[in-house]
Amino acid sequence: GLGLHVSLPLRTDLHARFGVNGLNYSREDSTRNVDYDWRLRLRTVDALLDYFPMNNAWRLTAGVVYNGNRIDARGRPNVAGSYTLNGTTYTAATVGQLDGDVDFRRLAPYLGIGWGNAVAPGAGWGFSADLGVLIQGTPRTSLRSTGCTIAVALCNQLATDLAAENRALADEARDYRAFPVVRVGVC
């Protein structure tokens, strides 16, 4: 993705860094029973402290991030034109559109290490790098069907089966509790 950071010296060995970052990424994936088209939207605003323990370019970083990261998912019927939800098969025409999303807590801690000191005395152009982790917490998932065209009793069964599929989606999303961050930049 792309980002922009601004560093402000607080002391010779401590800097405040503020930044914005963004990325869009799409792919196909599946849970146990449903194929999805995923759209990952990464949107963060960083408020970080960089500590330079050896007064050189190596730094330790900690801070808080406004986390606008989310995943939007759209279900794709299988080749037979159906979905299997919680062991029950439904035609795509009766289910309607199957949509889901994965959302994360809005304020998340960040920890990392890095290289580069943009505001060091006499610093010219250089490179910077960060390796860290954004601790997003357990994701929240939701899965819904829009346009159910079957009888009310079957729509209620569909809702029960969607809840079970949402639990499977939540199990898949647990892998994103901690999000790795790798940045390379010019400073």
Q: Is 152 helix (H, G, I), strand (E, B) or coil?
A: helix
Please give the Cα distance from 19 to 63 (Å, whole number): 11
CA geometry: angle at 176 spanning 162 and 44, to 5°? 110
pTM as predicted: 0.80
| Digitized pLDDT (tens) for each residue of the chain, 187 residues in all | 789 999 999 999 999 999 999 999 988 876 667 788 889 899 999 999 999 999 889 999 999 999 999 989 898 888 888 888 888 888 888 888 889 899 999 999 999 999 998 777 776 777 899 999 999 999 999 988 887 777 777 888 888 998 988 888 888 888 889 989 999 988 7
* Among the listed residues 131, 160, 142, 130, the one whose alpha carbon sits nearest the alpha carbon of residue 100: 142
